[in-house]
Structure 1
Amino acid sequence: MKNQIKIIDLFAGPGGLGEGFSALETENGDFPFQIAASVEMEPSAHKTLTLRAFFRQFRGKEVPKEYYDYVRSGGRGDLDEVFSEYLEQLQAAKDETLGGPKALGSEDHDEIFQAIEDALKNHKGPTVVIGGPPCQAYSLVGRARNKGNKSYQPEEDARHFLYQEYLKVLDLVNPDVFVMENVKGILTAKVNGNPIFEEIQKDLRHPGKAVGNHGSDVEYDLYPLAVEIGKGRAKYSGKDFVIRAEEFGIPQARHRVIILGVRRDHQHKVPSSRLLGQWQTNELITADQVLYDLPSLRSGQTKVLKNDYQAWLDNLKKAEGHASLTPALRNAAKKYAREAGSRPSVDPGQGLPFVEQAEKNLQRMPEALQKWYLDKELEGVPNHQARNHMPEDLHRYFYASCYAEINEGLSPRSADYPDELAPAHKNWKSGHFADRFKVQSRHRVASTVTSHISKDGHYFIHYDPAQCRSLTVREAARIQTFPDNYFFEGNRTQQYVQVGNAVPPLLANRIAQVVLSLLCDRSHKIM
């Protein structure tokens, strides 16, 4: 396609933002956005990114059977051997992801910048830079952790200044548009007592000058996506840049700062409206609507000699005995324990790197989401494997999910648990960890999926008491709106981290449509 819009994806992770842009399809079947270069430093995320880049080589075409075979195998085999008949497309994917993990702000700098220049060589159409610097230094959890470290000095934390690498790429590329994403904590973060978000905004308006290129006259106007845009309005408050993903059809209460930067020569094309307004909705998508069709699983148990199905059922029976605070709770516990054991000869299992599924019950999933998530060639779901949990934690999971079932989806707080289910740490009743165990309620929008899901599942308990477990990687990916044919590489912990750190691809797809509307004019006609 002539004048295709080229994307430079920075701090790409597994590729959530890039997936949303590259998957945008016009009414006449064109894919206007093409990722020219993706930069990611973590090896497992980079491998995920490369595999998806290979998949993208076949956008609008028939995806090779070998891709589905690889996913169904759980990612076994060397990519060069698995895709030996498609080495040209595989090489294009490797080129797109710079041939290996690369870190901005490191000794990889020259190689990254040269690769970006090469990827855009002879490109005459529009360019877009997307991405978000790592958020650990800005997140509230990260700042709380740093506050407890007496030797921590914010001005010495390089993560506070990784956005400057983003600025250097803006100065190199001079894109028509950029999209920068980060956590809400960036709005209140300070270095040397100065609010860092104000500094970031100032630098984003004049990226060349901010990085010392005083000959640069390229300037950007910064726009929020979820509030009304006023003609002639030059300044917005920090909270204006916060997008509440659940308000735009995402099944997750994910609130993030997203800045849309538009080069001054395009400023006249920005409409006076809420840019994401056409996707704003009061009809929230619940956890059940996007998880219900996935195969039921059970958890495993750690620190037990026997870890078979009967042992799990026996433990669930013990869990039932704790749920006796009220008649309603007792009845719910009996119901779900009985449901779990209704077919004791049929073990649902803990799942696998790929779980086969011939048919799906899709009555609860909106049709538009079915089109987004599902791939009939897949015949199952990857990355769907339940964790092992300590038996005592499974008692708490079972109690919490039964409690939520009879209390309109509310998770119990620490004061609501019977004493025999209290974990052995002194702060349990202090109020500081009142919601340490949280159910992703059936008929509510899910909580924010974060990288902490990789450490334990306590905050991500499945709503079905009969499954008594935390969410799998695939369920977390569904909540994050990754399509089912998106395979996450690495071990399970690495997969959870990738999913938790990503931008929801469906939200990115909505943003891509806004960007496309800004760039479709006579000089950049792409449709």
Structure 2
Amino acid sequence: MEAGEILVIDLFAGPGGLGEGISSCTTKNGIKPFDIGVSVEKEPSAHRTLTTRAFFRKIADNSAARNDYYKYVRGLITRDELFSIYDAQAQAALKETLYQPRALGEDNELIHERIQELVTGHQGPKIVIGGPPCQAYSLAGRSRNAGIKDYKAEDDHRHFLYKEYLKVISIAQPEVFVMENVRGILSAKVDGKMMFPQILEDLRNPNTVTGVVGISGYKIYSLVVDADVQKDPRYINSSDFLIRSEFYGIPQARHRVILLGVRDDIEAVPKTLQQAVEYPITTRSVLNDLPKLRSGFSKQKDDTCIWTSTVKNHAKQLKQFLCNQYPNEKLAGLDLTPYENLKRKNSVHSNIDSAEIPQPLSNWLLDKNLGCVLNHETRGHMNEDLLRYAFCATYSLLNNGVSPKSRDFPTFLAPAHANWNTGTHADRFRVQSANKEATTVTSHISKDGHYFIHYDPKQCRSLTVREAARLQTFPDNYLFEGNRTQQYVQVGNAVPPFLAQQIGQIVLKLLNDVT
């Protein structure tokens, strides 16, 4: 394969996690054969992130340009100034992301025209990637929908956005496609019927949905379970398509459905993902080198001295409670005294050489030339929530990484929720334990942070965008644009790039076997 020989069409791209991973794949000779021709994304902040990263890929091999990129992310020059210095690369990045946010189903004429143009002018293999938005399939989304008066799943267009994916497949007729979605798609129903079997059937035969005559069908493969019948793969359980990311070097129990479609005329059979690590990668090993931060206050004056005093008082309350719950030897060495003089934002990466991230993830994440930490700023919390966060983190330390349920909370820490003791919100507060992989990073992290409490009680806070991005395996030099809430949403909705890179290597081998 030559550099840029494989055309990538990236749909529902978000901030670009899937495209980042696949486009980073290399041959044994160090050549990068995947080239993203177009990335389609409708949300403005994610689109801006996508464009910035597209630009970075185009200048990454130019040391002078890369240094100027570092100046931009450090705030020394503006994005417009950076783009004006490297106008050709900037224009190519903007063209790749269609110059502005675009939505499949709304801007189809423009999007389809660009895809047809790319396909017509391309001689090598093609691959379509992307995950139709999951709000209609996710368990949380279905719960919200159930509370909407007169809601009907069959009238929710989001259930059928995968058909927009099929339209692009019909235009591009790629050798391979990769489609990702939440595990909830396996159990989603419309009008009382399971959606997933129909989606599989439609992906096998795109022409039945799009009406385009003379296009090939596809064999749908699992990336984790070998197919029983190679020429027409069928799987016993729908869950055969579920990838448990923690088995493949991702420090997060992110369980997602990922389908690999191979065009019918291709005889080669894809390999499956190989378990990358003997044990799951822990949250501490991935986050411990990042600068320590304090949380902020959302309902009172935000001041470092007040924060330190508040957390010291919380530590005394907790120690008094814990002394009545645990034997002295269990509490020996437990220090809950907050760190002094912490900031809410710290971009100085002084501990990068002490990083404990295992290989090959360390090489994937770290950039020692970056010279700073991006998107590493805490949010504000209510005073009483800081005490709950400290309790959760301490409970985890004392109980081998177990996060407390509502029944484990002392009475004085119970929030004023009518259903607190009913079990409905038993894990309303969840610590990301130091000695385990993280739980799934979702877009809900943008709301309040209660499910994403940092394991260190001396920092007493929820995760920053950069910490969430680390758990999602975005490289440290990957800048998330937009405000902090938008950045959290982008990270939570993304495909882990390091997992996407492994999938890309499977696709690359498959295409090599064909040629």
Partner of 1:65: 67
2:363, 2:265 → 1: CA distance?
Answer: 37
The answer to whether the 8 Å contact 2:290/2:351 transfers is: no
Partner of 2:291: 295
**In the alignment, residue 485 of structure 1 is paired with which amino acid?**
N
1:11, 1:467 → 2: CA distance?
Answer: 36
Question: For residues 59-106 of structure 1, what are the alpha-carbon distances to aligned partners after superposition, in whole Å with 9 as ceiling and x for unaligned?
Answer: 4443432211111119x73x3322222100000000000111000011
Partner of 2:246: 246
Aligned partner of residue 351 in structure 1, secondary structure: coil
Q: How does 1:191-270 map to 2 (within 5 A)?
A: 191-213=190-212, 215-232=213-230, 234-236=233-235, 237-266=237-266, 268-270=267-269
**In the alignment, residue 227 of structure 1 is paired with which amino acid?**
V
**In the alignment, residue 402 of structure 2 is paired with which amino acid?**
L
Aligned partner of residue 49 in structure 2, secondary structure: helix
Partner of 1:445: 437
Partner of 1:276: 273
Q: Against the structure 1 CA distance between its residues 463 and 522, is the aligned structure 2 distance closer, same or farther, given a 3 Å change threshold?
A: closer
Cα RMSD, aligned residues only: 1.8
- The alignment of Structure 1 onto Structure 2 pairs a total of residues equal to 507
Q: Does 1:350 align with 2:344?
A: yes
Question: For residues 31-70 of structure 1, what are the alpha-carbon distances to aligned partners after superposition, in whole Å with 9 as ceiling and x for unaligned?
Answer: 1111000000000000000000001113444343221111
The answer to whether the 8 Å contact 1:286/1:444 transfers is: yes
Question: For residues 244-296 of structure 1, what are the alpha-carbon distances to aligned partners after superposition, in whole Å with 9 as ceiling and x for unaligned?
Answer: 00011100000000000000121x2105xx6112x444321110111011011
Q: Against the structure 1 CA distance between its residues 3 and 373, is the aligned structure 2 distance closer, same or farther, given a 3 Å change threshold?
A: closer
1:494, 1:18 → 2: CA distance?
Answer: 20
- Shift of the alpha carbon at 1:337? 2.9
Aligned partner of residue 481 in structure 2, secondary structure: coil
Question: For residues 484-518 of structure 1, what are the alpha-carbon distances to aligned partners after superposition, in whole Å with 9 as ceiling and x for unaligned?
Answer: 00000000000000000000000000000000011
Q: How does 1:422-441 map to 2 (within 5 A)?
A: 422-441=414-433
The answer to whether the 8 Å contact 1:3/1:124 transfers is: no
Question: For residues 181-238 of structure 1, what are the alpha-carbon distances to aligned partners after superposition, in whole Å with 9 as ceiling and x for unaligned?
Answer: 001111111111111111111110111232112x224110000001122234531121
Q: How does 1:127-526 map to 2 (within 5 A)?
A: 127-213=126-212, 215-232=213-230, 234-236=233-235, 237-266=237-266, 268-270=267-269, 275-277=272-274, 279-305=275-301, 307-323=302-318, 324-327=320-323, 328=326, 335-338=334-337, 340-341=338-339, 344=340, 347-352=341-346, 355-362=347-354, 364-521=356-513, 523=515
1:3, 1:471 → 2: CA distance?
Answer: 37
Structure 1: state its 5+ residue gaps.
Answer: none
Structure 2: state its 5+ residue gaps.
Answer: none
With normalisation by structure 2, the TM-score equals 0.95
1:219, 1:160 → 2: CA distance?
Answer: 22
The answer to whether the 8 Å contact 1:319/1:399 transfers is: no
Aligned partner of residue 169 in structure 2, secondary structure: helix
1:265, 1:220 → 2: CA distance?
Answer: 9
Aligned partner of residue 101 in structure 2, secondary structure: coil
In terms of mean alpha carbon deviation, does 507-516 or 356-365 score higher? 356-365
- Shift of the alpha carbon at 1:116? 1.4
The answer to whether the 8 Å contact 2:44/2:101 transfers is: yes
- Shift of the alpha carbon at 1:304? 1.8
Q: Percent identity?
A: 53
Aligned partner of residue 335 in structure 2, secondary structure: helix
In terms of mean alpha carbon deviation, does 189-198 or 437-446 score higher? 189-198
2:504, 2:332 → 1: CA distance?
Answer: 46
In terms of mean alpha carbon deviation, does 375-384 or 325-334 score higher? 325-334
Question: For residues 10-30 of structure 1, what are the alpha-carbon distances to aligned partners after superposition, in whole Å with 9 as ceiling and x for unaligned?
Answer: 000000000001111223121
1:163, 1:191 → 2: CA distance?
Answer: 14
**In the alignment, residue 230 of structure 1 is paired with which amino acid?**
D
Q: Against the structure 1 CA distance between its residues 517 and 394, is the aligned structure 2 distance closer, same or farther, given a 3 Å change threshold?
A: same
With normalisation by structure 1, the TM-score equals 0.93
